[in-house]
Amino acid sequence: MAKLRGKAAVSGIGETAYTRGTTKSGLALQLEASLKAIDDAGIDPRDIDGCIPYFPGAGIAEDFIANLGIKDLTLSAFIPMGGATCVAALQTAAMAVATGVCKHVLISVGRTGYSGARVSTRLQQFPQFALAAEFEAPIGMFAPAQLYAQGARRHMELYGTTERHLAEIAVTTRKHAILNGNVVMNKPLTVEEHHASRMISDPFRLFDCSLESDGGAAVIVTAADRAKDLKKPVVSILGVAEGHPESPASIAQRPDLLEFGLVKAAARAFTIAGVGPQDMDVAQIYDCFTFTVIRQLEILGFCRTGEGGPFIMDGRIGLGGELPINTHGGLLSQGHVVGLNHVIELTRQLRGEGGKAQVKEAELGLVTGYGDMGDGSLAIMARGAA
Amino acid sequence: MSTTPPAPERPLPTPTRDSRAYWDGMKEGKFRLQYCSSCGKVRHYPRPVCPHCFSMESEFRDAPTGGAIHAWTVCHHPFNFSFKASAPYIVALVDMDAGVRVNATLKGIAEADIKIGKRVRLGFEAATKEVTLPCFVAE
């Protein structure tokens, strides 16, 4: 199972400005970010021979061939896992470059989540949401904020997790966003402001929810031995895995609402990497909602189930703390490009390009994906070749 | 030429060949679930294959309507215009005595009185002439 350990590297990263309001198309944003990632890697656009665009999204492989002049694309794939897609795509890309199917795989997202179709409209079009559309939308459950709220409420009832704990995630993430600069939310947020924000779907208030924003992001995955000859320092993928929960298309029918696919992905990825949560210098945790971060930290083994609330308090997850998380501002404060910005930020941290948000001596970190009713993915990445 | 967008429609289930018997039951005021004809186990939401014994033979039978609250949310932001008038509304996820879960709006119970394990009963609410949806009421 450890055959993929260190075989692939993230060789290029690129992102557009994150905004609310754009006249550009989702495809244009996706291509703009892709060209930046290609430049960051120091390769020619025509060197791309694998393409994994976010789906359902803006561009498909045909668009990349047409726009980038790719002569011989050897892999076109979709990973329909919602917010778990981007990190799961690292696994597919790693397999492709490790086996020689591809030289450089481009993973990309382009999104007009603010200026285009909004979340409740978009999700009804996902084939994975067919059951939710038939059985849950008619009773008034459309959006992830509603569908995931019941699990958060249950965690609060069973373990005493509080609104104060949820606020800590929002406030810490905002502090990090302000250091980054390329963010939608650039004003400080207090615990009081969090508590005063309007209720969306109890227990989620406005500031517990990720942003609807416009932007594009892209990363390039290259075989580690090839990546060492490229422009930027090597950041290798030590371990990567995806996982799918029971009752994957309906949270309602899942025996344990709090069992995410990450349970399975984490066990696999840590085994492949040969490291554990205690070894991490930094963590980028998929933050569609504040609570989702707390529960994923439990699943990853940073603390036990039920202890996630107290665990994140007292500065532990802020810069300078024991486990800095979402050092870019995440989906809550930077922008919503389905977590590809989390992969980009982990790469920056491990290159030492974190700027004002740089975690000192960051050598090992992880990034999670979560979505599509509970699919999960985890990548563990390291500075340098494995 | 009018520029007014069409009025948003209330989302309603589109019964499939696999689920029609469930929705037909709702319309008759019956909580009818899918049972495997081979091993007898219940499954929900309806689907072609029994995940326990892989039989494709099944039947829909009336199931008990009692249950206990597993989790809930209070929806304040309607997300869809057709729910604007009813917000805030409570959606309860209930462990049915029948062995499956049902998500439906909770009627006649105040938010402060909800807790995990509280007993409720599944009721029926006509959304249109053609479609009846489940709801929960005090047992």
CATH number where A46 lies: 3.40.47.10
Q: A170-200 burial, b for 16+ CB within 10 Å, e for fewer?
A: bbbbbbbbbbbebbbbeeebeeebbeebeeb
Among chain B residues, the shortest Cα distance to A249 is held by: B45
Please state the length of chain A: 386
Is residue B2's pLDDT more than 70? Answer: no
Catalytic residues of A: 86, 336
Among chain A residues, the shortest Cα distance to B89 is held by: A140
> What per-residue confidence (pLDDT) applies to B1?
45
Beta-carbon separation of A142 and B93 below 8 A = no
- Nearest residue, CB atoms, B79 vs list A120, A138, A157: A120
Number of A to B CB contacts under 8 A, please give it: 103
> What per-residue confidence (pLDDT) applies to B7?
55
A140 contact B CB<8A: yes
Single out the residue of A255, A228, A220 nearest to residue A51, CA to CA: A220
What does pTM read for this prediction? 0.96
Contact A312, A347 (CB under 8 A): no
Chain B: nearest CA to A212, how far in angstroms? 13
- 3-class SS at A10? strand
How far the first Cα of chain B sits from its last, in Å, is: 53
For A340, how many CA atoms within 13 A lie in the half-sphere containing its CB? 34
Q: What is the mean pLDDT of chain A?
A: 96
> What per-residue confidence (pLDDT) applies to B5?
56
- 3-class SS at A60? coil
Measured at the CA of A36, the angle between CA A35 and CA A41, to 5 degrees, comes to 95
Residue B7 structure tokens: 């009025």
Contact B72, B91 (CB under 8 A): yes
What dihedral do alpha carbons A206, A212, A216, A221 form, nearest 10°? 60
Beta-carbon separation of A150 and B91 below 8 A = yes
Query: What residues of chain B lie within 8 A of the CB of A124, using their CB?
Result: 11
| CATH code, residues B64-139 | 2.40.50.840
pLDDT-derived band of residue A380, with 50, 70 and 90 as boundaries? very high
How far the first Cα of chain A sits from its last, in Å, is: 16
Residue type, A155: H
Q: Assess if residue A144 is contained within a domain.
A: no
Beta-carbon separation of A252 and B93 below 8 A = yes
- d(CA B139, CA B123) in angstroms, rounded, equals 10
Beta-carbon separation of A134 and B14 below 8 A = yes
B86 contact A CB<8A: yes
Place of tokens 């490790």: A98
DSSP string, chain B: ---PPPPPPPP-----TTTHHHHHHHHTT--EEEEETTT--EESS--SS-TTT----EEEEE---EEEEEEEEEE-S-SSGGGTTT-SEEEEEEEETTSSEEEEEE-S--GGG--TT-EEEEEEEESSSS-EEEEEEE-
Query: What residues of chain B lie within 8 A of the CB of A158, using their CB?
Result: 116
Contacts with A, B 64-83, CB within 8 Å: 70-80, 83
Beta-carbon separation of B75 and A153 below 8 A = no
Contact A339, A242 (CB under 8 A): no
pLDDT tens across A320-335, in order? 999 999 999 999 999 9
Range of the domain at A54: 2-116+210-383
> What per-residue confidence (pLDDT) applies to A202?
98
Q: Assess if residue A241 is contained within a domain.
A: yes
> What per-residue confidence (pLDDT) applies to B27?
97
Chain A: nearest CA to B53, how far in angstroms? 17
> What per-residue confidence (pLDDT) applies to A127?
76
Beta-carbon separation of A139 and B116 below 8 A = no
Q: Assess if residue A364 is contained within a domain.
A: yes
B49 contact A CB<8A: no
- d(CA A109, CA A16) in angstroms, rounded, equals 10
Among chain B residues, the shortest Cα distance to A201 is held by: B75
- 3-class SS at A203? coil
pLDDT-derived band of residue A130, with 50, 70 and 90 as boundaries? confident
Is residue A128's pLDDT more than 90? Answer: no
> What per-residue confidence (pLDDT) applies to A386?
85
> What per-residue confidence (pLDDT) applies to A120?
65
Residue A142 CB neighbour total at 10 angstroms: 26
Single out the residue of B66, B63, B58 nearest to residue B18, CA to CA: B58
In percent, how much of chain A has pLDDT > 90? 91
Q: Which of A115-129, A194-208, A243-257 has the lowest mean pLDDT?
A: A115-129
Q: Is A96 exposed, middle or buried (0-12, 13-18, 19+ CB in 10 A)?
A: buried
Query: What residues of chain B lie within 8 A of the CB of A140, using their CB?
Result: 75, 78, 80, 83, 86, 89, 91, 105
B34 Cβ contact partners less than 8 Å away, ≥ 6 residues apart:
B21, B22, B42, B43, B44, B46, B47, B58, B59, B60
What is the gyration radius of the CA atoms in chain A, in angstroms?
Answer: 19
Q: Assess if residue A80 is contained within a domain.
A: yes
Q: Assess if residue A358 is contained within a domain.
A: yes
Chain A: nearest CA to B123, how far in angstroms? 13
Query: What residues of chain A lie within 8 A of the CB of B19, using their CB?
Result: 134
Provide the pairing of β-strand A8-15 with B32-36: unpaired
Mean pLDDT of A2-17: 96
pLDDT-derived band of residue A265, with 50, 70 and 90 as boundaries? very high
Task: Domain count for chain A, please give it.
Answer: 1
- d(CA A93, CA A221) in angstroms, rounded, equals 6
Residue A199 structure tokens: 């209720």
Peptide bond connecting B45 to the previous residue in cis, omega within 30 degrees of 0: yes
Chain B: nearest CA to A373, how far in angstroms? 15
State how far the alpha carbon of B3 is from the alpha carbons of A117, A121, A210, B8, in Å: 18, 20, 32, 15
Query: What residues of chain B lie within 8 A of the CB of A121, using their CB?
Result: none
pLDDT tens across B20-79, in order? 999 999 999 999 999 999 999 999 999 999 999 999 999 999 999 999 999 999 999 998
Residue A260 structure tokens: 């995410």
- d(CA B137, CA B106) in angstroms, rounded, equals 6
Q: Assess if residue A41 is contained within a domain.
A: yes
pLDDT tens across A204-234, in order? 999 999 999 999 999 999 999 999 999 999 9
> What per-residue confidence (pLDDT) applies to B137?
97
State how far the alpha carbon of A153 is from the alpha carbons of A240, B71, B91, in Å: 30, 7, 12
Task: Return the bridge partners of A110, or none.
Answer: A216
Which residues of chain B does CATH 2.40.50.840 include? 64-139
Q: Assess if residue A178 is contained within a domain.
A: no
pLDDT-derived band of residue B6, with 50, 70 and 90 as boundaries? low
Mean pLDDT of B89-105: 98
- d(CA A202, CA B125) in angstroms, rounded, equals 24
